[in-house]
Structure 1
Amino acid sequence: MQIFLPPSEGKTPPAHDDGARLDLQALTLPELGSPRAQVLHALVRVSAQEDAQQILKVGAKVMAEVEANTRLTEAPTAAAWQIYTGVLFDALDAGSLSGAQLHRAERQVLIFSGLFGATGFTDRIPAYRLAMDVALDPLGRLASYWKKELAATMADRVGDQLVVDCRSATYANAFKPAAQQTLMVNNFTVKDGQRKVVTHFAKHARGELTGMLLRAEAEPQTIDDVVAVASQRWTVEIRESDGKKPHQLDLIS
């Protein structure tokens, strides 16, 4: 089984600098080294421009993070799960994983991003600012760029495994496994008898489910296994794939 996660918009720089710097070839899926380098160089260049705020689609409050993009190759690094912060990763609570559970995460979890395409859970990366819906000259829109670059590499990685997809639409478009082997995770909050999607709660549910799957005593492999784990926390409904759209796992709070 593979678990696909989005990055978080906000990132937290390492609290301590142990001297380790970004090594693109040391990341999971090293065959993506060349396209990653192209995006990295384009981001460094754009981040130094006067129109960086407009190109990167960010607010004035995070311009210090944009300026820091110009020094990514010199920046301290930490495990991806430590760099990415926010609702989903807080709910996952990777810091409490055992050694065996963290090893499972290394094998099973990929975090998609505009900068790296996809990285492993424990890959060493710096804090950066770049979303998947940004267009960087001369690469174009990153979602389209990575869709082309990820296709063959991700198909080899996934094989015939089940993919539990916790990504938002922008990141999901970068690589789509076959519908029949994909389980999209949704979350609905019921209020006054009506189901609503609340982004904050959806992110939290996806993070919490990921943590539960990594901590499960027997490693989940099938949709039924995932349902069994999720049912410990939520009312669960499955909408089966129609051959074009993936299976849908609805977590109802």
Structure 2
Amino acid sequence: MLIVLPPSETKAPGGSGAPLDVASLSFPGLNPVRRELIAELSSLDVDTALEVLGISGRLRGEAEANRELAEAPTMPAIERYTGVLFDALDAPSLSGAARSRLAVGSALFGLVRANDLIPHYRLSAGNKLGGRTLRSRWGKAITAELEALDGLVVDLRSGAYQQLGRFREAVTVRVETPEGKVVSHFNKHYKGELARVLAGCPDEPDDAAGVVRVARAAGLDARVDENPPKSAPHQVILTVER
């Protein structure tokens, strides 16, 4: 089983790992696009990068960091990303086996496994590089890597990151209130909780019903969606009070 998490805009600074080695990253079929994007992103002058990234001058350090992608220190991807989902996941407390079930969708790297070493960077799914959307830049590469995997894929990425490489056979998750309203702000928190439960479960589920079984055993209110959207035919609904 592979649990694919969304990335976060916020990232931990620094790191103690050697500079980025693209050849060492998981999913090597993504390397040609990775190298192109890294070269283009790191070549942007800071003022141009601020415009391309859609960020203000107060985040100038983010644009400056992109210019050092090839030389900057690295850290495991699961520790690089921060924020609500990753707080709930609490990756430092997970076993090695649990971490091996985790990956992160990324605008710059496509997909990275939890222990892949990556530098601090700034690039979002909605940005364009070279005047082209990242969806067009990735094409079918991410989808092909997901299709080649053995076992279940649980796709917790947000819509924008799913667009970079859809996989219709994945189990997706919708977080909603008891009244059926989509949960927005706390969505990431509950997906982090679910990811933690799934990563640490002793027996891997092999379908949406299996994901529901594991979630319920951990005290989460989950069910298989009986009327899923055509774009996500294997959807699980996680019901929460907020």
Normalised by the length of structure 2, the TM-score is 0.90
Give the whole-Å Cα distance in 1 for the aligned partners of 2:143 and 2:158.
18
* Separation in structure 1 between the aligned mates of residue 4 and residue 89 of structure 2, nearest angstrom: 13
Give distance in 2, aligned partners of 1:52 and 1:243. 37
Q: Residue 209 of structure 2 corresponds to which residue in structure 1? A: 224
- Residue 184 in 1 paired to residue 172 in 2? yes
Q: For 1:188-217, what per-residue CA distance to the aligned partner results, in whole angstroms no more than 9, with x for missing partners?
A: 134xxx343332211011111010011112
Report the equivalent of 2:153: 163
> What is the correspondence of 1:49-128 to structure 2 with a 5 Å cutoff?
49-102=46-99, 106=100, 108-128=101-121
Give the CA deviation at 1:223: 2.1
**How many Å separate the matches in 2 of 1:227 and 1:98?**
22
CA shift for structure 1 position 244: 5.1
- Give CA-to-partner distance per residue, 1:77-102, whole Å, 9 cap, x none: 00000100011111111110123323
Q: Is the 8 A contact 2:16 2:73 kept in 1?
A: yes
Is 1:252 aligned to 2:242, yes or no? no
Distance 1:164 1:55 in 2: 31
Structure 1 position 118, deviation (Å): 0.9
How far apart are the structure 2 equivalents of 1:222 and 1:245? 13
1:212 alignment counterpart = 197
For 2:97, what is the secondary structure of its paired residue? helix
Q: Which residue identity does 2:172 align to in structure 1?
A: M
| Counterpart position of 1:39 | 37
* Separation of aligned partners in 1, 2:97 and 2:107: 29
Contact 1:13 1:76 in 2 (8 A): no
- Aligned residue for 1:13, secondary structure, equals coil
Q: Name the SS of the counterpart of 2:139 in structure 1.
A: helix
Are the counterparts in 1 of residues 172 and 234 from structure 2 also a CA contact under 8 Å?
yes
Alignment match of 1:142 (pick from 134, 139, 162):
134
Letter in 1 for 2:97: A
Note if contact 2:110-2:142 (Cα within 8 Å) is conserved in structure 1. yes
**1:202 corresponds to which of 181, 187, 190:** 187
CA RMSD of aligned residues (A): 1.9
Pairwise CA distance, 1:242: 6.7
Residues 208 and 234 of structure 2 are in contact (CA less than 8 Å); yes or no, is this contact kept in structure 1?
no
Residue identity opposite 1:142 in structure 2: L
CA positional deviation for 1:243:
5.8
TM-score (norm 1): 0.86
1:74 Cα deviation (Å)? 0.8
The SS at the match of 1:71 is: coil
* AA matched with 1:10: T
Gaps of 5+ in 2: none
Q: Which aligned runs of 4 or more in structure 1 are off by greater than 6 angstroms?
A: none
Q: 1:217 and 1:150, CA in 2 relative to 1: closer, same or farther beyond 3 A?
A: closer
Select between 116-125 and 30-39 the one with higher mean Cα deviation.
30-39
Deviation at 1:143, TM superposition (A): 1.9
- Identity score, percent: 39
> CA 1:215/1:246 → structure 2, altered by over 3 Å: closer, same or farther?
same
> Is the contact made by 2:156 and 2:191 (CA closer than 8 Å) also made in structure 1?
yes
Rounded to whole Å, the distance in 2 between the matches of 1:12 and 1:67 is 15
| Residue 235 of structure 1 pairs with residue 221 of structure 2 | yes
The structure that is helix-richer by fraction is 1
- Which region of structure 1 is more displaced relative to structure 2, 28-37 or 240-249? 240-249
Q: How many residues align?
A: 238
8 Å contact kept, 1:12–1:127 = yes
